[in-house]
């Protein structure tokens, strides 16, 4: 099986220029661990590209790329299916009116976009329609600029560099977008011309810079769920209590739990961390947010949906995303006394190390000291710490300043860890800065895999339908932590039995959620529950699901049928609503009368616009509808309002105050269990 890959063709009149441009692109992407397979369309074209001198042409340009493969194409499947990116290197001839017939056959068969590398004079003389090109790479006095023709929907300033060698391609976003314009091809059974290239992995670039204006600290983990988010939140409150202005930062987050801030959306973790730091959340605190969908994902850059990046395969997204991450980090560092950065997964994972914009590349960018956390309850934490330290390259290892053993058994004796800590310190010459026990806290969860099936509580029995694309479920934290409700994350019809309140939460992929409800039989169970007269609350994507239809001409979600519980029709639009608001319920009777005429704070994140066929609009502006026991609203955050929580649960609880208590407790935990004097010396010298 050969997997399809994005593809791009680079053509030119001079084989040496073509080779230099292709070499520059391949060299740049190799630093991100992105494999580029380079092909010539025919054996004759390969000979022209090689040139008479072994040091000229494409062979010379690729000589320093550690064995970057290239070969002549003998079948179209090889050209269509290479590494992470397939590049066709072509030679154009004015005498032929463009490409040769054989080269055009390959281009057309693989539906590959072609860019032409030319001088300014050649650019003026070329008719792009004749040559079938979508853009020009214009080489002028040692610099390279990209100019799309009218049919290429990419910005003109995405590619620039000094010289035509591997360093020429310093921003490759435009070319990567062009490469993904080619339609997806079906996988082929075999392709003899596509052997494993065995490309040596090159080191990433290590940009220099001046001394940071503000200080920085990175919290990395030996693995996922080591407690990085918890620690960054705690450090944010601790240092804010010390009188510093503190900003959290995570270069890239992947979560369907997002919050609205000025400028768009960020992951809920960075939103909460900003509150812990007593700062206004900012899109720069999470410059890249990936929101998974069924077999694809939406990418948000600085809070806004980026269709071009979303269309790229995940590995090719990193180079064009990095400038936004770097700028956001440097801006925050210049504005705040301290930026506390959160890593993701492991900073040393070999398969992801070079193609990473959230771990050590971020730390290197600002010379940040790194503290490595491990989960002490899992066992093997000492070995995890040593293994991570050992695998990291020397320049990254130099940034690592100490270890934190997190989540050690609350009833365990930390003295048990002394032999392992002593050996770790002998092997690495780095201190273990403390052991944090398991502590109860009520921060919103970010990942659905962290949810237990049922949380204990007395009083109300609540079921939240946990479809795989469930989003913004962090808003139910007051329900799960209040002790005043037993909350079940419902994944089968039996979970809806003997329930007092059923909630259909937000969904990142409503059509996929509708299919999942049908496959599990929950669709029939939900309809039956709605007929029972007991309270049913639908939020955002849940509102769309309880309606009749959802139609998607904008191709952002999909078209499908809802549950038909309410007479509502939804249309998805390309423009996304991202806003805070105050929402006032109209006069309510029956099961929801406790919310009658209440005003609550909330936020909207949606592409959908919904019209009522016959339902009563209970919140003005198409934001809320009701039919007796079924209440559907577009805004999130209902349970984060004390008055609404009291009306629904029957208990008085202020979620905002509880969150503040949690932040303070986390800061106290650091002061009690970590050597904060040593950590302050690490950060501030």
Mean pLDDT of 177-197: 49
Q: Considering only 351-355, 462-466, 527-531, which range has the smallest mean pLDDT? A: 351-355
> Which pair of structure tokens corresponds to residue 12?
């030119």
Among residues 37, 298, 540, 673, which one is catalytic? 540
* Model confidence at 450: pLDDT above 80: no
Domain 448-653: top CATH class: alpha beta
Residue with tokens 């469930």, as numbered in its chain: 470
Q: Cβ atoms within 10 A of the Cβ of 647, count?
A: 19
- Can you tell me the distance from the alpha carbon of 329 to that of 267, in angstroms, rounded to the nearest whole number? 16
Architecture of the domain delimited by 215-251+267-282+321-438+671-684: 3-Layer(aba) Sandwich (3.40)
The chain-wide mean pLDDT, for the chain, equals 82
Q: Greater confidence, 452 or 528?
A: 528
**Whether 540 is catalytic:** yes
C-alpha count within 13 angstroms, C-beta hemisphere, residue 201: 11
For a pLDDT cut of 70, what percent of the chain falls above it? 81
- Can you tell me the distance from the alpha carbon of 345 to that of 278, in angstroms, rounded to the nearest whole number? 27
For the segment 215-258, what is each residue's pLDDT rounded down to a tens digit? 999 999 999 888 899 999 999 999 999 899 999 999 999 988 89
pLDDT of the residue at 210: 38
The single-letter DSSP state of residue 178 is H
For the segment 379-430, what is each residue's pLDDT rounded down to a tens digit? 889 999 999 999 999 999 999 999 999 988 767 778 888 889 999 999 999 9
The residues near 368 (Cβ < 8 Å, ≥ 6 apart) are 216, 217, 218, 339, 341, 362, 399
Domain with CATH 3.40.50.880 in the chain: 448-653
pLDDT of the residue at 522: 96
Q: Considering only 247-256, 290-299, 341-350, 673-682, which range has the smallest mean pLDDT? A: 290-299
The pLDDT confidence band at residue 56, using thresholds 50, 70 and 90, is very low
pLDDT of the residue at 225: 86
CA proximity to 574, closest of 592, 556, 601 = 556
The single-letter DSSP state of residue 673 is H
> Which pair of structure tokens corresponds to residue 374?
């491990």
Mean pLDDT of 142-147: 68
Torsion of Cα atoms, 309 then 315 then 319 then 325, to 10°: 80
Q: Cβ atoms within 10 A of the Cβ of 444, count?
A: 23
* Model confidence at 374: pLDDT above 50: yes
The pLDDT confidence band at residue 45, using thresholds 50, 70 and 90, is low
pLDDT of the residue at 123: 77
The pLDDT confidence band at residue 44, using thresholds 50, 70 and 90, is low
Mean pLDDT of 35-48: 71
The pLDDT confidence band at residue 166, using thresholds 50, 70 and 90, is very low
pLDDT of the residue at 206: 28
* Model confidence at 481: pLDDT above 90: no
Q: Greater confidence, 127 or 561?
A: 561
Q: Considering only 17-26, 208-217, 228-237, which range has the smallest mean pLDDT? A: 208-217
Mean pLDDT of 587-598: 93
- Can you tell me the distance from the alpha carbon of 510 to that of 432, in angstroms, rounded to the nearest whole number? 46
Q: Greater confidence, 54 or 51?
A: 51
Return the exposure string of 288-324: e unless at least 16 CB atoms fall within 10 Å of the residue's CB, then b. Answer: bbbbbbbeebbbbbbbebbebbbbbbebbbbbbbbeb
Domain with CATH 3.40.50.300 in the chain: 215-251+267-282+321-438+671-684
pLDDT of the residue at 143: 63
Is the four-CA dihedral 500, 569, 471, 576 of positive or negative sign? negative
Among residues 37, 298, 636, 673, which one is catalytic? 636
Three-state SS at 221: strand
pLDDT of the residue at 352: 85
Cβ atoms 159, 29 nearer than 8 A: no
CATH topology of domain 7-179: Rossmann fold (3.40.50)
């Amino acid at each position: 099986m050969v997997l399809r890959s994005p593809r791009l063709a680079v053509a030119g009149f001079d084989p040496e220029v073509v080779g230099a441009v292709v070499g520059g692109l391949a060299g740049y992407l190799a630093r991100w661990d992105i494999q580029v397979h380079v092909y010539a369309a025919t054996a004759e074209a390969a000979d022209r590209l090689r040139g008479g001198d072994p040091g000229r042409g494409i062979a010379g340009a690729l000589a320093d790329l550690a064995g970057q493969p290239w070969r002549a194409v003998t079948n179209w499947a090889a050209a269509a299916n290479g590494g992470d990116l397939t590049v066709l290197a072509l030679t154009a001839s004015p005498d032929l009116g463009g490409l040769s017939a054989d080269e055009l056959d390959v281009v057309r068969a693989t539906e590959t976009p072609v860019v032409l590398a030319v001088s300014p004079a050649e650019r003026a003389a070329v008719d792009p329609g004749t040559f079938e090109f979508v853009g020009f790479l214009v080489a002028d006095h040692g610099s390279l600029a990209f100019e799309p023709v009218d049919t290429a929907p990419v910005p003109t300033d995405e590619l620039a560099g000094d010289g035509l060698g591997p360093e020429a391609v310093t921003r490759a976003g435009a070319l990567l977008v062009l490469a993904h314009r080619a339609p997806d091809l079906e996988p082929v059974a075999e392709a003899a011309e596509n052997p494993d290239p065995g490309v040596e992995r090159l080191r990433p670039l290590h940009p220099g810079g001046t001394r940071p204006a503000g200080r920085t600290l990175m919290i990395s983990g030996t693995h996922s769920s080591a407690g990085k988010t918890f620690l960054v939140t705690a450090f944010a409150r601790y240092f804010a209590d010390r009188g510093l202005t503190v900003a959290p930062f995570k270069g890239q987050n992947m979560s369907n739990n997002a919050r609205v801030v000025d400028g768009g959306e960020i992951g809920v973790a960075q939103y909460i961390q900003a509150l812990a730091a007593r700062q206004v959340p900012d899109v720069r605190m999470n410059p890249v947010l990936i929101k998974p969908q069924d077999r694809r994902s939406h990418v948000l850059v600085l809070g806004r949906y980026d269709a071009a990046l979303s269309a790229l395969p995940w590995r090719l997204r990193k180079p064009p995303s990095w400038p936004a991450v770097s700028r956001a980090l440097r801006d925050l560092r210049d504005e705040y006394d301290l930026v506390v950065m959160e890593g993701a997964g492991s900073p040393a994972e070999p398969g992801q190390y070079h193609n990473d914009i959230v771990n050590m590349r971020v730390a290197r960018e600002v010379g940040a000291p790194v503290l490595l956390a491990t989960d002490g309850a899992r066992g093997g934490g000492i070995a995890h710490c040593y293994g991570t330290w050992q695998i990291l390259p020397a320049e990254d290892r130099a940034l690592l300043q100490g270890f934190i053993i997190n989540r050690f058994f609350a009833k365990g004796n930390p003295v048990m860890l002394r032999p392992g800590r002593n050996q770790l310190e002998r092997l690495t010459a780095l201190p273990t800065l403390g052991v944090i026990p398991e502590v109860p806290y009520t921060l919103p969860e970010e990942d659905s895999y962290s949810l237990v099936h049922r949380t204990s509580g007395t009083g109300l029995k609540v079921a939240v339908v946990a479809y795989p694309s469930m989003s913004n479920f962090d808003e139910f934290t007051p329900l799960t932590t209040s002790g005043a409700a037993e909350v079940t994350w419902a994944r089968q019809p039996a979970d809806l039995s003997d329930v007092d309140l059923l909630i259909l939460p937000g969904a990142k992929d409503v059509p996929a959620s509708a299919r999942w409800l049908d496959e599990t039989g929950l669709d029939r169970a939900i309809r039956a529950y709605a007929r029972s007269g007991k309270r049913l609350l639908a939020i955002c994507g849940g509102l769309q699901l309880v309606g009749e239809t959802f139609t998607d001409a904008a191709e952002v979600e999909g078209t499908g049928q809802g549950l038909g519980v309410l007479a509502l029709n939804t249309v998805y639009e390309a423009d996304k609503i991202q806003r805070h608001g105050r929402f006032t319920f109209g006069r309510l009777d029956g099961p929801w009368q406790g919310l009658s005429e209440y005003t609550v704070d909330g936020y909207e994140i949606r592409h959908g616009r919904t019209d009522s066929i016959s339902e009563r609009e209970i919140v003005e502006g198409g934001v809320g509808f009701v039919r007796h026991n079924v209440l559907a609203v577009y805004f999130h955050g209902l349970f984060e309002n004390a008055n609404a929580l009291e009306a629904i649960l029957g208990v008085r609880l202020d979620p905002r105050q509880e969150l503040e208590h949690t932040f303070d407790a986390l800061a106290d935990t650091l002061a009690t269990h970590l050597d904060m004097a040593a950590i302050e010396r690490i950060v501030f010298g």
